[in-house]
Structure 1
Amino acid sequence: MKIEKKNVLNRLKRAEGQLRGIQKMIEDEQECIDIVTQLTAVRSSINRTMGLVITNQITQALEDPSLNIEEQEKKLQQALELIIKK
């Protein structure tokens, strides 16, 4: 998960920067619509990041030959539960 880990961390750092920007917008009393637009962008970014993490879990469960069928099914079920929670 080295590449995926780097990608996920970069996305989280970007979202963190966006959140700091939103905090500044609120402190500067920016327009509500502009703040909501930025919040929507952060939410979308986080949702995509969650998708990457869940996809990684599914891929690992399917590609790991050391796991038996029951372990694979357990990991897939966990991933599905994360998707449903979302």
Structure 2
Amino acid sequence: MELDMAADELKSVLNRLKRAQGQIAGIVRMIEEGRDCEDVITQLAAVSRALDRAGFAIIATGLQQCMTDDGQPVVDRDRMRARLEKLFLSLA
């Protein structure tokens, strides 16, 4: 199945993933510098949430495409995608 996302949705997911990538690099530096365990765990939890949100956004977009009629107005589709994403996040 091909990832078919609108440009704004794709940009949001990519931005989230790039931030997570930066956070991971920061975590590696923290470990190399011998930083406090609690600080490292806090950052790991933050990057985990960022990755979850990116994944859920992709899942919600895919479900939206499956569930919506192509003739539906964009606003309704965006609202549906947001509702689906919120639902998935509530399960995480």
Identify whether the pair has TM-score above 0.5, normalized to the shorter chain.
Answer: yes
Residue of structure 2 equivalent to 1:4: 9
Within the alignment, does 1:38 sit opposite 2:43 as a pair?
Answer: yes
Amino acid at match of 1:6: K
Seq. identity, %: 42
Cα deviation 1:18-59 (Å, max 9, x = unaligned): 000001001100001100000000001111111100000011
Amino acid at match of 1:32: C
1:1-86 equivalences in 2 (<5 Å): 1-65=6-70
Q: Which has the higher helix share?
A: 1
The CA RMSD measured in Å over matched residues stands at 1.8
The answer for unaligned runs of 5 or more in structure 1 is 66-82
Q: Tell me which structure has the larger Cα radius of gyration.
A: 1
Residue of structure 1 equivalent to 2:73: none
Amino acid at match of 2:52: N
Distance across 2 between alignment mates of 1:48 and 1:32: 24
The answer for unaligned runs of 5 or more in structure 2 is 1-5, 71-87
Residue of structure 2 equivalent to 1:73: none
TM-score by length of 1: 0.72
Aligned residues: 68
* Superposition misfits of 4+ residues, deviation over 4 angstroms: none
